[in-house]
Structure formats: structure tokens, C-alpha cells
Amino acid sequence: MPLVAHNDLPTFDKLRREGVRVLQPDLAGHQDIRELHIGLLNMMPDAALAATERQFLRLIGESNPIAQFFVHPFTLDALPREPSAREHIDRYYESFEQIKDKGLDALIITGANVIGADLSREVFWRPLIEVADWAHENVTSTLCSCLATHAVLDFRYGQKRIKQRRKKWGVYRHRVVDHAHPLVVDINSEFDVPHSRWNSVDPGQFTSAGLKILVTGDDGCVHLATSPDGFRTVFLQGHPEYDTISLLKEYKRDVNLYIDGEIKVYPPMPDNYFGDFSAAIFREYRSRVDRSLAQASDIPEFPEHLVQNLLHNTWQDTATAVVGKWMGLIYQYTNIERRKPFMQGVDPDNPLGL
């Protein structure tokens, strides 16, 4: 159940202040429970690097299995980084070579801030394939988030993501469509999930690849699916790890891009996220920004302080439940001799007996 602060990653202190249980290694050594080692391949841009650590570590730390979680963050050297982010990575992250040498029980691969539909043109393409293929053979289960889902569906299943006319951005209602699968059994049958993406893999593509669809949105989009065996790879298109204010921060970033002239059209507000009062504040702010730009006067301060306490989180409990069930399956189906993907006698092609 608790995270173990096996290094001095600052995220551990931030989670403690939030009330998440984090053990020191000496105390963890006296706990008579098993440990699980979870890799976190963090591909997010510099500004979101630490926040992404915190979001996924929180979900892991609040999950239910009786285990101690050692989380091992790493990234891809091919991704360009500013000096401050590079210093953070050099100090707190492990290399992929170290990860391979030690082994993992499970792996989480984050998304990345890429708009273009063709991922094979990105600098991380080949290194990401190397990590995902290694994990497929050596790790009990891999959880792919958003862009990582699109990448794996592309290079492993030949399903390329499709650019949408409009960014899917906001909080959307979803429902469970396969109630018998262990990842979703007994969770809320309907729940919200944040999304933030220009590209999509549609349900027909998941089906053509032989994947198991577990959760879909009101518009039919796939949020949660698994590989044909039901467990080896877990796919997410949404962002259940998001903080309550994550979409607010993204909206602020996009507004600033408009102010700086990097985008020509004022960004829309995220769907189903702001209440009427907050939306009115941001409509007024847009008018003030456009007026200031026209008059070449000072830009007013972004009014996040007026709305951040009015935002509601309607997804965190279900996200924690799903990750908790994923951790429970990893605990159950990882051999007691750590680093062996499945227990003796379990069919690796159908470990859950589905």
C-alpha cells in the first residue's frame, strides 16, 4: 500500500504534504509485506515533468494491494531538455540500462506533448519502441497513457492515430462496457475522465487489432482497453491521473500562447470543466486581453486565483480504483521470485483466464 522513498526525489516530500503515505527505507525494511518495483517512463515536456511524477505516484501510492511500491522514473535521452530539467533527470532519474539491469514488475509510459499525427517522425519513436518491446517480454504489465497508447497501437498493431478537426479537451462522461474484466469489476459503472488530445484511435481500430475494450465515452471513444490477453498491455486514451487544476494550467498555457502570438485563435475553454461563474470570468478576461492587445497596453493577470477553488474533481476515485486493481493483478501474477513475469502454470497468452 505505501510508497517507499528509496531516493531523494522531491515528489516524495510533496506527496507527504498532501497526506499520501510514504515510507522511509529503514521503516519499510521492517514491514513483512512484498515489494513491487514500478517503472515510470516520463516523456512529458519540462514544465510538466515533476507534476506528471506526482500524479502517477499518487495513483500508485493510494492503490489498495498490501505491497510496498518502489517507483523508478526514467526518460528517453532523445527528448530535448532544458538545463534545469536535465539536472533534475540526472539527479533523480535512472537510465534505461539501469532499469533493464534491475528489472521491473510493471511499467507506466506517460504521454508526450506532440500534436502531429505521424509519430514515426518524432525523435523518441525508435527509443520508445525499444522500451515498449523490452517491457513486453520482461515486465508483467505495461500501462500506456494517451500518446503512448497511440504509439503502441501504431508500431505493434498497425493502427495509426487520426487527427481530429477539434481538440478533445475537457472532462467527459464514460461507461464500463465489459463489466466482467478484473480491471473494472465493481468500480463505478459511469464516471468522468479528463482528455486533452488532438488525435484519436477510434473503436473500430481497437477492434481490428483484437484488443479488449473496457470503457468508452459518451461519444463512443475508447478510454480503457487491453491487449488481447487482457493484461500484458493496458491502454488509456484519457488522463485519469490529472490533478483538479491540470486543465486550468493547460488553458492558461494556451491563452499565453495566444497572447505571445504563437497561435492565432483564442483557445476555447475545456468542455464540462468550468462552472457558469468561472466561465463568465474567463469570457470577461478574453475581452480584456483582446482590448489590451489592440491598444498595446499591459496584459491583465490570468484570473486563476478566482476559480481554482471552484473546480471539482469527478474522476480521481475511479482512477485510483482502476490503478489499484491493476496493481493487485500485478501482485497476484508476478512470480514470488521477483522479475519473473508470470507464475508457473499460468498461460502467458491468457493470464487472467478470460
Q: Which residues contact 141 (CB under 8 A, 6 or more apart)?
A: 106, 107, 231, 232, 233, 234, 326, 329, 330, 333
To 10 degrees, the CA torsion angle through 287, 289, 295, 297? Answer: 140
Q: Residue for cell digits 491468457?
A: 350
Residue 241 annotated to the active site: yes
Rounded Cα distance between 69 and 327, Å, is 10
Residue 239 annotated to the active site: yes
Is 75:93 a contact under the CB 8 Å cutoff? yes
338, three cell numbers:
521477483
Rounded Cα distance between 338 and 34, Å, is 10
335, three cell numbers:
512470480
Is 101:121 a contact under the CB 8 Å cutoff? no
> Which residue in the list 6, 146, 150, 195 is annotated as catalytic?
146
| Core vs surface per residue 184-207: b (16+ CB within 10 A) or e | beebeeebbbbbbbbbbbebebbe
> Which residue in the list 37, 72, 239, 250 is annotated as catalytic?
239
To 10 degrees, the CA torsion angle through 142, 211, 65, 111? Answer: 40
Rounded Cα distance between 323 and 81, Å, is 29
Is 352:342 a contact under the CB 8 Å cutoff? no
Residue 305 annotated to the active site: no
Is 68:2 a contact under the CB 8 Å cutoff? yes
106, three cell numbers:
510493471
Rounded Cα distance between 28 and 136, Å, is 29
> Which residue in the list 53, 62, 241, 250 is annotated as catalytic?
241
Which amino acid makes up residue 9? L
Which sequence positions are flagged as catalytic? 146, 239, 241
